[in-house]
Structure 1
Amino acid sequence: MRKVIASAALTALVASLSLGVVQAQSTAQPIIGLITKTETNPFFVKMKEGAQKEATRLGAKLLTAAGKADGDNAGQVAAIENMVAAGAKTILITPSDSKAIVPAIAKARAQGVMVIALDSPTEPASAVDALFATNNYQAGILIGQWAKKAMGTKKPVIATLDLFPGHPVGIARHNGFLAGFGIKGITASTKDLVNSSVACAQDSFGDQTKGQTAMENCLQKNPDINVVYTINEPAAAGAYQALKAAGKEKDVLIVSVDGGCAGVRNVEGGVIGATSQQYPLKMASMGVAAGVTYAKTGKKVSGYTDTGVTLITNKAMSGVKSQNGKFGLANCWGQ
């Protein structure tokens, strides 16, 4: 009888200790990591602000890091390792290299860390638990449709100022633009960059200075360019400077993607004809909330969540849904 009682008491003690460990884990402050491509791009600055605001609201600790420049995979790998060592149970990342980052993500997930991609998918998409991002192909479709309507009967001579080779976001926006413009044979699942009907394609790395150089190169190749697609608004600003220096700024239509405050002001000022606005704050806040839920309940999010996109222009075109610059400024990010 004493042995039975002792055994029952021991079982109860173990159960109580186990419950205490579970309760301690669920009540400990969640640690969430955010790794962006850079620290200087206004898009990622806003993402960081949104993540910090949501982390503060939910009582989580936020760790942040970034690559030295767009494309710095080694910096992001080091950040993942440091955050796992610091106790992060969820890592939010905007991958600079969608393929090269996968082994580091796999290692973190094997240690029980939930990894969510923000803005940019990994290759394969299944390398992370979930993706919160703009539908970049749809963002391209919108500016392509608008540009097609805006050109009217003019013969288009198109230049594309892209990101850099192989990046899925760059491919999706570029191909979406061409599909929206009416170029046949392109779908959302097209994996390679299509250059049908493109007079000049240059990489800008999403940078204003490199965007200006890319536009100068395109004008040398074909001075008759009259439509310019840019991967983002800094590249668009660079393109405009090159066009202005050549005396062609009033003869060329520029479209872009981002929806940052500087970009929307350029829509207001006539520098950019239309831009597709995305919402980095929403991506980040949703990611942090998912991380807190995982820390408290063990429940992971999965799959793709579309965080929305809106065409911003002050020259509405029939059949293309859009909002004006006033709406864009009320919902923009950055300075």
Structure 2
Amino acid sequence: MKRLLLISLLLLSGCSSEPASPKGDHGNADKPKVALIMKSLANEFFSTMVKGAETYQAENPDQFELVVNGIKDERDLGRQVALVEEMIASNVDAIVIAPADSKALVPVLRRAKKAGIVVVNIDNRLDTEVLAAEGVEIPFVGPDNKAGAKQVGAYLASKLKQGDGVCILEGVLTSFNGQQRFAGFAEAMQDAGIKVIDHQTAEWEMSKANTIASSMLSEHPETKAVLAANDSMALGAVAAVKAAGRSGEVLIVGFDNISAVQQAIRDGKILATADQHGDQLAVFGIEKALQLLQDPQAVVEDVETPVDLITQESLTK
């Protein structure tokens, strides 16, 4: 009987679990878990960001764990909100997010912060008015999209004549980065005395940009250039210009510096783009998150990251 009692006690001891972590303790403090939540991973720009983050984690395996999530369609706001909720439930230490919408993601990110999770905003800045209304501070780590677009626009303007007409393909209208890129393009055109004869959203999508650019070229045959708020739309414009038989006549610029556009620039199909160093952008956000985890009392400040003009000349240097 004593032997049976001893075996029973040993079995009970072996089946016991660790005590649950107290509220606010998000796991191993020596190795925090960072969730990277992206927009569409079908877009090369965001897949490049993920590869950069994974490479950084592999080079620093003792510093943090990385969990990567993304949505299939950049307009699927509901799924991105659900991903944040899943990460809250998973008890991650930090969320680094490229929000698909500047306003819609703020409430769920406020809940994440209330749960004790560090939140860092990358790529597309969250709306400052909505953040203030929700009473939450979230640092933005990313480039000045307006300045980057203005650089690209000014370079394009140097290849045009005063009075020429251009069209602009905008991103998702509720995305701050899309708004800022449109503003930068428009300001560069105004400064150069060039007319914006049409502008429409193609919602970051190549196929939609192809359709809209085709319509623009048909309706406005005087178009001398198309300015696209991202490189996927620029590639859509390239196809539209080719289909219209106007390759070499209509100049095209983009924004993001994805590899396909680098080749198109070398081939003379696209004039220029802006490089916001996508391979490092998520890394910059992760570094900010780790800093805030180490010092929870640190002042929440934005971090401006570089953005550079990319042309045929710069690619051949």
- Change in 2 beyond 3 A, CA 1:304/1:23: closer
**How far did residue 122 of structure 1 move?**
0.6
Give, in whole Å, the separation in 1 of the partners of 2:108 and 2:246.
Answer: 47
Q: What's the offset of the Cα at 1:70?
A: 0.6
Normalising to structure 1: TM-score of the pair?
Answer: 0.79
Aligned with 1:161 (options 160, 164, 169): 169
Alignment match, 2:41: 39
Compared CA separation, residues 298 and 70, structure 1 to 2 (3 A) = same
Q: Deviations over 1:27-78 (max 9, x none)?
A: 4421000100112111111111122222231521111111231121111111
Corresponding residue pairs, total: 286
Q: 2:123 pairs with 119, 125, 137, which one? A: 119
Residue number in structure 1 paired with 2:249: 251
User: Quick check: 2:167–2:216 contact (8 Å CA) kept in 1?
Assistant: yes
Corresponding position: 1:132 with 2:141: yes
The corresponding residue for 1:208 is 206
Identity, % of aligned positions: 26
Is the 2:27–2:93 contact (alpha carbons within 8 Å) kept by the matching residues of 1? no
| Counterpart-to-counterpart distance in 1, 2:170 and 2:127 | 19
Gaps of 5+ in 2: 1-23
How many Å apart are 1:280 and its aligned residue?
Answer: 2.0
> Could you tell me how far 1:83 is from its partner in structure 2?
0.9
Contact 2:42 2:72 in 1 (8 A): no
Q: Is the 8 A contact 1:232 1:257 kept in 2?
A: yes
- Does the 8 Å CA contact 1:160/1:198 hold for their aligned counterparts? yes
Tell me if structure 2 keeps the 8 A contact 1:58–1:292: no
Say if 2:256 and 2:278, in contact at 8 Å, map to a contact too. no
Q: Distance in 2 between matches of 1:240 and 1:216?
A: 10
Of residues 274, 285, 290, the one that matches 2:272 is 274
Quote the Cα distance in structure 2 between the aligned partners of 1:270 and 1:100: 39
Q: Distance in 2 between matches of 1:252 and 1:245?
A: 12
Structure 1 residues not aligned, in runs of 5+: 1-21, 185-195, 316-323, 328-335
**Is 1:32–1:91's contact at 8 Å kept on the other side of the alignment?**
yes
Contact 1:38 1:44 in 2 (8 A): yes
Cα distance between partner residues in 2 of 1:177 and 1:165:
15
Tell me which residue corresponds to 1:291. Answer: 289
Question: Which 10-residue stretch deviates more, 215-224 or 278-287?
Answer: 278-287
- Tell me whether 277-286 or 294-303 shows the greater mean CA deviation: 294-303
Shift in alpha-carbon separation, 1:23–1:122, aligned structure 2, 3 A: closer
Query: Could you tell me which amino acid in structure 2 is paired with residue 198 of structure 1?
Result: V
Specify the alignment match of 1:91 in structure 2.
95
Q: 1:135-154 CA deviation, whole Å, 9 max, x = no partner? A: 10011110111111111x36
Counterpart of 1:149?
158
One-letter identity of the residue aligned with 1:63? V
Question: Partners of 1:43 and 1:24 in 2: how far apart?
Answer: 30
TM-score, normalization by structure 2 = 0.84
